[in-house]
A and B are shown apart, each in its own frame.
Chain A
């Protein structure tokens, strides 16, 4: 950048380099945010400073590379120039300073690569200078915008194609034949000598191959271009609807640099916006008027009629010209060129007629433009096709005549029979009568009837003379195509001059002496109709392709034509046209044009292929004379010029045995690729949709939540009541609420925990099946509940106040992590986990109950089997937080402090691998402090010490009772606090244990995803309902609003935990 700009800014701070560039690095990561806070944290910088100092060449190299990256990318930063220069200078200094320390070679390597890049860039720029008409197109673009320019770019591209085609035909057909001559243009000129010159150039073969190669090349180049375009267009999400935005923000063409253009652009923008408004309004009102419909029907009928008429006229003209040729010895200029003139006239006039007709229809401008294009395309195709069919008809007659005559000559008797009927002869007589007459066997009969023949044919001799040339049907077709092309060019030039230029002159100079304003009212200036002009180019190219096989010089001619057109058009556009009011969106239509061109190519190739396959080549002219079919040249060459084995191989390859499977394979491949493409498209759409919803929902929800939190402070009624009277009855009430479900008991566990409401919603949203399953496994534990009433009371009291306190400060780190973990796991493996770690809040918001439920059944089996063992350790981490707090209060009461030590030993996870074991210990925990000590017995594994065993002894009872009592408990039948004592003790001891573990555990839980994946059991319906979410958030309304995002998760996680423990 700044070999120059450097001296310009000397004053910039130079010495702070090492520090500065660090912040730059961060900036380079985040483009925009860094713009605001460019002073990164300083500790980071220091660290990097050390790095710079380190002697490790690899690191140093990395650093230097990084600096270079900064230098290279500095252009992409939205900083003021002064800052850029500063940063650049610092980066440079660092590079210079440390580069010397590195081994030179590495530096050279990269420098070499850089140099190469620069060179290629330079070369590229030079090449650009040689792109033809670039300046001209730029000029047009700056005046008329990109739409008009797209026409010229398209023209130039076609020009390029034609150049290549010309080179192909020129190098392989025309030049080898030697000197130029008029007839070099056509098929008939070329000899059929198999080898030319000493080098043995095989002209017929070359002719055929080049003819095919022209098509092949065109196809390939077209498809490649289209693929490239579609890649570009795919990059933009085309479905997205920003009509108005784009019309406002992207409207101004910043390329415009002259006032006139600016004015017209301004007008165009106004038009454009008005059009969009109209469109918008039109969407609302329905236009199902009978009159309109009938008008449209009428218009379509008119169009169809004119199409049919044009096709008929062409057919008629071709037919007439044939008759004329047969009847008249000398044709006038008009008669000779009648066909092509008529075709060109139709192609000129019909589009305007269509345009008039389309005004009847009153479509939306864009729709009508599409209709117009389609109609014009059909017209052009119809013209070309009717012409070629008429020509081939004639060819048919010609070649059938030849075949009839030749077959007749071989059978004298039948010949005689036909001779006796002169009218048959009149069609069949070839010019070679005389030559054939020399045939000895024929001599006698011929001479005997010569008199009569001569009499009958005398009036047609002149026709024969002429037919000598026409016999060569290939030449004839080629001639017609060339004629058509020439006349088309003449008409184009004429129309440009007349319609655009003269009109422009008249409008400009006569407007003063006329009673109305010519410039703005009737004749106006000619508009440049991009779409139709492009279509005309396509049509022109179609003609070339159609005739290229029969007239090898047609592409060369087309090259000249295009050059002429380029200059003429660009001149006309700049002098006497105004841009089209409704600009056809060039960017969108690029592939549209190309698709039409491809369509044209295909349709134009068909007649040629048909003619090659169907008709016999002329016997006395052209490279294929004497052959049965044109493509025989291939088999002949293979036979004669290649080794024997090659012929054999070829015969195998072309046999149905190979061809059919190959075709099948091709079909399969196509089908396969297509289905892949479809699925990709589908996923693409899905992703886009997801992105959209994520963007919108996400934001909306966050805002909603923020709003909810504002209103939140008053805590939900239920909770408060629960808190206040935490005795048995209140308990029962909370128990009862979810009871209608079988596993209503599940919720009980949570209900005391100040989250009654949230739990209830969960229970409701859980699916039936799930619940029933859950119910079976869980009911026993539920049954235990009543036993702990006593303890419960206590915990509840303890918990609520404490918890409030905890939530605010302690949410920050750990809990958030574990919670995240739970959710992620439900969904899917590791990747998700990683990602979610970075953007947790969003994840929560996105979660939908449905998704989770869906996932659930998959793991159900395992779940039932192992849930008891694994779940808890997950929750442990979160809950332990609460335990901790409780602990503080309950510590004094706890008689079992001694348990702390042994348990601690066994429980502490020594490593990650250890982790799935430790899970067991925490199980008890899930009741944690709140209620469910009772559950411990089931889950507590053997390794636990006696205290636990003691509990286990009670377990059976609990189980048994659980079954019966689950019902009762729900009804509020209070059970005796029989086992409460034990449990309580245990609970306390456990809580204490928990404390030291939490940290390491939560960390490990978060980090070791393997284990989690293997025990998928923590599946748990973590169901996020918005309300719940909000409520949870509301409960912590004290938290500063600003934190909303971060604080949500903890809240939610808590909810989740609770839910999880239920499962």
Chain B
């Protein structure tokens, strides 16, 4: 859970993105949203191929414009201390580009292209997509449901490692220092 310290720091982090927009006084819960351009330029996100998706998933309007709550939300999920289930859930949402609650072929292709910066040929992409569906699609409906995805992702060795090893000790600093969306 975010401690007082973290929340405050995150708040300032948020405010620093656009000091002119974000008021210091949040007692009246002003409706302030930072545009995606600002969010996506954060050092934690700017090299991430999925930054836009991340912003979209966590923003309430689905466009990537984030209120402070969304911002906190994002960091709490991406922090190393967030439980695995919740990470898997949001990972699913991130990879589900068309928001239809299934990862279908087009989603997979998008994911692959973002991940590899379009370096794979079309054939390769197609083959990988097929293999992925082949492996993880348990109900043979040609797309991955949340269940399928969780079943697969929660068994990933990286996933386990990050959730058990010493890394989980780094609470405060690293939550802010880098996005630890640990898969």
Which A residues form the contact surface with B (CB < 8 A)?
1-5, 7-12, 31-32, 72, 74-78, 80-82, 84-85, 124-125, 128, 131, 134, 138, 142, 146, 153, 232-233, 235-238, 240-246, 248-259, 261-262, 266, 269-270, 273-274, 276-277, 280, 585-588, 695-696, 699-700, 703
Contact = CB atoms under 8 A, between A and B. Distances in A.
Contacts of A75: 1, 76, 81-83, 86
B168 to A, nearest CB: 10
Contacts of A258: 47
Given A11-B28, A695-B151, A78 B86 contact: yes
Contacts of B47: 256-259, 261-262
Given A238-B157, A249-B111, A273-B112, 19 more contacts: A8-B27, A75-B83, A81-B70, A82-B69, A124-B169, A128-B169, A131-B166, A244-B132, A245-B132, A245-B136, A245-B153, A249-B95, A250-B159, A255-B179, A257-B43, A257-B177, A274-B124, A587-B158, A587-B161
B174 to A, nearest CB: 7
B6 to A, nearest CB: 9
A76 B85 contact: yes
A124 B166 CA distance: 11
Interface of B: 1-4, 7-8, 11, 26-29, 43-44, 46-50, 60, 68-70, 72-73, 76-78, 81-83, 85-86, 89-91, 95, 108, 111-112, 115-117, 119-120, 124, 127-128, 131-132, 134-136, 138-141, 146, 149, 151-153, 155-161, 164, 166, 169-172, 174, 177-183
B5 to A, nearest CB: 9
Contact of B135 (A7, A243, A250, A254): A243
Contacts of A700: 139-140
A128 B182 contact: no
Given A242-B156, A270-B119, A254 B1 contact: no
A85 B1 CA distance: 12
A138 B174 contact: yes
B112 to A, nearest CB: 6
Contacts of A138: 170, 174
A594 to B, nearest CB: 14
B7 A2 contact: yes
Contacts of B164: 232
A131 B152 CA distance: 34
Contacts of B116: 266, 269-270, 273
Contacts of A699: 138-140
Contacts of A124: 169
B178 A273 contact: no
A696 B171 contact: no
28 contacts: A1-B1, A9-B69, A12-B29, A32-B89, A72-B1, A78-B86, A78-B89, A80-B70, A232-B161, A232-B164, A236-B155, A236-B160, A238-B157, A240-B155, A242-B156, A246-B158, A248-B108, A255-B180, A262-B47, A266-B49, A270-B116, A273-B116, A280-B127, A695-B138, A696-B138, A696-B139, A700-B140, A703-B141
Nearest to A31: B85
A68 to B, nearest CB: 13
A586 B162 CA distance: 12
B158 A242 contact: no
A8 B8 CA distance: 11
A265 to B, nearest CB: 9
A475 B7 CA distance: 61
Contacts of B91: 249
Which of B134, B139, B179 has the most C-beta atoms of chain A within 10 angstroms of its own C-beta? B139
Given A4-B8, A245-B152, A273 B128 contact: yes
A138 B80 CA distance: 13
A254 B27 contact: no
Nearest to B116: A270
Contacts of A131: 166
Contacts of B181: 254
A246 B7 contact: no
Given A3-B4, A8-B26, A277-B127, A252 B49 contact: yes
B75 to A, nearest CB: 10
Contacts of A237: 155
Nearest to B54: A254
A624 B55 CA distance: 72
Indicate the member of A233, A235, A273, A277 with the most B CB atoms within 10 Å: A273
Contacts of A8: 11, 26-27, 29, 68-69
A252 B183 contact: yes
A1 B2 contact: yes
Nearest to A135: B173
A276 B135 CA distance: 13
B108 to A, nearest CB: 7
Nearest to B177: A257
Contact of A248 (B115, B169, B172, B177): B115
Contacts of B73: 80-81, 84
Given A78-B90, A274-B124, A249 B169 contact: no
Give the 9 A-B residue pairs with the shortest CB-CB distance, closest first: A254-B181, A262-B47, A81-B69, A81-B73, A699-B139, A244-B131, A587-B157, A4-B7, A11-B29
